[in-house]
């Protein structure tokens, strides 16, 4: 009776077995082929993980002390119908899972004499909010301030949405630009 390797389960003949080299090589080739097909299937699933990449190609004005949702204008990639132009501020999760959210936004400088703050945050209508949900920075008074926020997010039910919100306390409206949002599912949720 043939033995099997402990990690991959490849068959090999035991010493007392009748030796049939041709059959042993065929069994090994069959086992390796099946193993590679399994690995390729998992690799293909990983490459095709639900993902969306959005950007904003023009400036968007943000009034002082007014939480403003970033309105996305360009869909760079979306393999799971996350974003629709009829609701350009939000993405809608189609599947449960653990997602990786990344966002970057440039916000115009303020010439105010007093240092000003701005907040970039993810906002979700789901049960679990992205952790951490926001980032606050002091705005540069002479050049653009760039924000980036990278967070994990658990989606418990399909249909949940997430938006990106910007707020600042400068004396006048500021423009946001060079905005980018990427969302990828990195894991399925396993049943409890």
Residues 86 and 114 in one domain: yes
CA 28 to CA 37: how far, in whole Å?
Answer: 14
Q: Specify if 192 maps to a domain.
A: no
Residues 133 and 159 in one domain: yes
Residues 41 and 100 in one domain: no
> Residue 101 — very low, low, confident or very high, per pLDDT cuts 50/70/90?
very high
Q: Specify if 158 maps to a domain.
A: yes
* pLDDT higher than 90, residue 192: no
Whole-number pLDDT of residue 23: 84
Whole-number pLDDT of residue 78: 94
For 10-48, give the DSSP string: -EE--TTSPP-HHHHHHHHHHHHHHHHHHHHHHHHHHHT
CA 130 to CA 155: how far, in whole Å?
Answer: 9
The answer to whether 185 and 125 have CB atoms below 8 angstroms apart is no
Q: Could you say which of 27, 47, 67 is where a domain stops?
A: 47
Residues 108 and 68 in one domain: yes
* pLDDT higher than 60, residue 139: yes
How many domains, the chain? Answer: 2
Residues 37 and 62 in one domain: no
Residues 7 and 66 in one domain: no
Residues 87 and 176 in one domain: yes
Residues 39 and 64 in one domain: no
Whole-number pLDDT of residue 132: 57
Q: Specify if 142 maps to a domain.
A: yes
State percent of the chain over pLDDT 90.
Answer: 46
Structure tokens at 26: 């065929």
Q: Which is more confidently placed, 145 or 131?
A: 145
The answer to whether 124 and 151 have CB atoms below 8 angstroms apart is no
Residues 96 and 125 in one domain: yes
First-to-last C-alpha distance (Å) of the chain = 39
Residues 72 and 161 in one domain: yes
Number of alpha helices (DSSP H) and beta strands (DSSP E) in the chain: 1, 13
Whole-number pLDDT of residue 109: 82
CATH number at residue 64: 2.60.120.40
Q: Specify if 91 maps to a domain.
A: yes
Show the domain range for 16: 3-47
Whole-number pLDDT of residue 138: 87
Q: Specify if 111 maps to a domain.
A: yes
Q: Are strands 117-124 and 74-78 parallel, antiparallel or unpaired?
A: unpaired
> Residue 125 — very low, low, confident or very high, per pLDDT cuts 50/70/90?
confident
Residues 127 and 178 in one domain: yes
What's the pTM?
0.74
- pLDDT tens readout for residues 170-190: 989 999 989 999 999 998 887
Question: What is the b/e burial string over 155-165, where b = at least 16 CB atoms within 10 angstroms of the residue's CB?
Answer: beeeebbbbbb
Residues 95 and 171 in one domain: yes
- pLDDT tens readout for residues 48-78: 789 999 999 899 999 999 999 999 999 999 9
């Amino acid at each position: 009776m043939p033995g099997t390797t402990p990690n991959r389960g490849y068959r090999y003949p035991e010493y007392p077995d009748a030796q049939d080299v041709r059959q042993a090589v065929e069994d090994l080739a069959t086992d390796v082929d099946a193993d590679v097909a399994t690995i390729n299937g998992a690799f293909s699933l990983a490459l095709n993980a639900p993902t969306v990449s959005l950007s904003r190609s023009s400036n968007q004005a943000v009034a002082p002390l007014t939480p403003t949702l970033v309105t996305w204008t360009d869909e760079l990639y979306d393999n799971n119908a996350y974003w629709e132009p009829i609701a350009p501020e939000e993405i809608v999760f189609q599947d449960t899972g653990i997602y990786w959210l990344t966002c970057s936004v440039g916000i115009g400088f303020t010439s105010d004499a007093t240092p000003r703050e701005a907040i970039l945050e993810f906002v979700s209508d789901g049960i679990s909010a992205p952790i951490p949900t926001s980032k606050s920075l002091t705005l540069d008074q002479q050049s653009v301030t760039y924000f980036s926020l990278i967070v994990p997010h658990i989606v418990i039910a399909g249909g949940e949405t997430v938006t990106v919100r910007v707020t600042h306390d400068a004396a006048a409206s500021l423009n946001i630009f060079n905005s980018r949002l990427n969302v990828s599912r990195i894991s399925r949720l396993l049943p409890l």
